[in-house]
Structure 1
Amino acid sequence: MAYVRKDAATLTRAEKRRFVNALLEVKRRGEYDELVRLHIAYNSADGERGLRTAHMAPSFLPWHRRLLLELEGALRRVDSSVTLPYWDWTRDRTTTSAPWTADLMGGNGRRSDGRVTTGPFAHREGNWPIRVGVTDEGFLTRDLGRHRDPIGLPTKSDLDRALKDPAYDVAPWDSTVTRGFRNKLEGWGTGRGSVSWRNHNRVHRWVGGVMLGAAAVNDPVFWLHHAFVDLQWYRWQRRHRGAAYAPATPPRRGDDQHGRVVARHERLPPWDVTPGELEDVGRIYRYA
């Protein structure tokens, strides 16, 4: 029977407590840091050689869907009642609204060094050391809203712009395409600076701190953010019945993207699963 992922703003006190406790236990067991390492290992960009799976590629959505299932499985091995909540950043848009409460994600980082000092993941609690990253900081950092150069979260209209595109993705299957649901949702836009960060990307920028880099998984809000991104894929599928992941077949030899993107029925590293097999997860979970 499929379990349910809920809006973080609707969680009861008991649900929040059980979710946080399961997260802390997965961290204690070392499983959480392995997922941080995995995300770093597969964080490649357009200009890099070889296969791209996690970002700037059609497989952005199925790859992160599989990553979410990895954490969710670990959480449910600790407490079978726990599922991943999602953060609706089109509605909960302030630094004090859900999920930035002391009983869930904690709050903003302090101005001096970005260190989070409230909530269960604050460094002073001793339960959330940052062991895997691209900097030497050993504590969780945030800069909600980017106080020195403020930016806002994406709006419902920003999200709808992506959802109404009937194509999943288009050639050349990277961050430069201006058509296709995947890149509009992932958020690689034209221009420079904040105007080019949209939807998924803009949320990472808005949270700031460790969420800015390949080690973004170190902030547990990563999962709530990506659960909401995953929900958009589900909504897009319902809006465009019959539309499927693309490309259906691998780019041919001579194409600049040959060997660089995963086709619908190809294996999605590092797992033995294809994007096509991840299109329908209705038997595993659903969204409230």
Structure 2
Amino acid sequence: MVYVRKNVSKLTRTERRRFVEALLELKRSGEYDEFVRLHIEHFVGDGDRGLRAAHMTPSFLPWHRQFVLDLESALQRVDPSVTVPYWDWTRDRSPTSVPWSDDLLGGTGRPVDRQVMTGPFAYRTGNWTIRESITNVEFLTRNLGRPRDPIDLPTRDDLNWALKDPVYDVAPWDSTVTKGFRNKMEGWGSGRVVWRNHNRVHRWVGGVMLGGASVNDPVFWLVHAFVDMQWQRWQRRHRKHRYLPAKPPGRNSEQYGRIVARHERLPPWDMTPDEMEDMSQIYRYE
């Protein structure tokens, strides 16, 4: 049966409560921290050695598609009614709008140390201690909108700029490419506009969302559900275009063994990007 992922602003009070309670149960069991560890492990950049599967790479989109699916499956083992909602940051754009309510994700961090003091994921509730991170901070941090150095969320025009590009990705298949839907959506850039779309949202939220341990903020899942929704939109708009590269780079390429081609295994799973392109029999967006 195909299930539905809803706009977080459309969730009922009961749906909000059940989503939060399922997340808290995963945290209590220790399973949530496994997701944080996995993301940190696969946060490999251009300047690092080895395979890039999750970031600065063509497989950014299928990797996070499977990652969200795994979290969703874990939530549904706790409560079968729960699905991952998405946050449309082109509409809900202020630090006081959804999803930053006290009954959902809580608000921004306090000025002194960016610690989130409101909502169910505040450290003081005793339910959300950060155990897996790249720092020693145990509490959730945010700096919504960066008041001292303001930054705006991406707009609908920013999304459309990415969506209108008919090519999925281009060589050299990394953070430096200026063409292709993948990096326009992932958001690496240079010059006057450094961060776009997905990356800009991480910057706008701030706190733990700035690094490989960004999964420690539950908004991570809402952000990536919306990114996944944009991939579906791109797929519908450009039906003749698919994931690239179709074949792995040759041995003489600097990207040899560093990226995942269409029919290659996508670590840490056994599926390929090719198998991740059609989710119509699993979920849909509303």
TM-score normalised over the length of structure 1: 0.98
For 1:214 and 1:134, the matched residues in 2 are separated by: 8
Partner of 1:239: 237
Deviations 1:186-222 (CA, angstroms, capped at 9, x unpaired) = 0011216xx2100000000000000001000000000
Name the % identity: 71
What is the distance in 2 between the residues matched to 1:212 and 1:253? 34
2:261 counterpart residue number: 263
1:48, distance to aligned residue in structure 2 (A): 1.1
Gaps of 5+ in 2: none
Q: Deviations over 1:36-90 (max 9, x none)?
A: 0000000011111111010000000000001001100000000000000000001
The number of equivalent residue pairs is 286
The amino acid across from 2:26 in the alignment is V
List structure 1 segments (4+ residues) > 6 angstroms apart after TM superposition.
none
Match of 1:228 in 2: 226
Counterpart mapping for 1:144-223 below 5 A = 144-191=144-191, 195-223=193-221
SS in structure 2 at match of 1:265: coil
After TM superposition, give the deviation of residue 8 of structure 1 in Å: 0.1
Distance, in Å, in 1 between the alignment partners of 2:212 and 2:178 is 24
Distance 1:101 1:21 in 2: 15
Q: Distance in 1 between matches of 2:215 and 2:262?
A: 26
SS of 1:238's partner is helix
The equivalent position to 1:253 in structure 2, one of 245, 251, 255, is 251
> Does the residue aligned with 2:127 lie in a helix, a strand or coil?
coil
How big is each residue's C-alpha offset from its partner over 1:154-206, in whole Å with a ceiling of 9 and x where there is no partner?
010011000000000000000100100000000011216xx210000000000
* Aligned counterparts, 1:92-131, within 5 A: 92-131=92-131
Alignment partners' CA distance in 2, 1:35 and 1:28: 13
Secondary structure of the corresponding residue to residue 62 of structure 1: helix
Q: What amino acid is the match of 1:264?
A: R
Opposite residue 170 of structure 1, the aligned amino acid is: V
CA distance in 1, matches of 2:147, 2:24: 29
Q: Distance in 1 between matches of 2:239 and 2:66?
A: 22
Letter in 2 for 1:126: G
CA distance in 1, matches of 2:207, 2:48: 25
CA distance in 2, matches of 1:43, 1:237: 26
- Residue 67 of structure 2 is matched in structure 1 by 67
Structure 2 SS opposite 1:66:
helix
**Partner AA of 2:157 in structure 1:** S
Let me know the Cα RMSD of the aligned residues: 0.6
CA shift digits 1:84-109 (9 cap, x unpaired): 00000011000010100011111010
Aligned pairs for 1:13-92 (under 5 A) are: 13-92=13-92
C-alpha separation in 2, matches of 1:89 and 1:53: 26
Given the two structures, how large is their TM-score scaled by the length of structure 2?
A: 0.99
Alpha-carbon distance in structure 2 between the residues aligned to 1:220 and 1:274:
26
Distance in 1 (alpha carbons) for counterparts of 2:104 and 2:241 = 36
- TM-fit CA distance, 1:242: 2.1
Measure how far apart 1:243 and its partner are: 1.2
Structure 1, unmatched stretches of 5+, are none
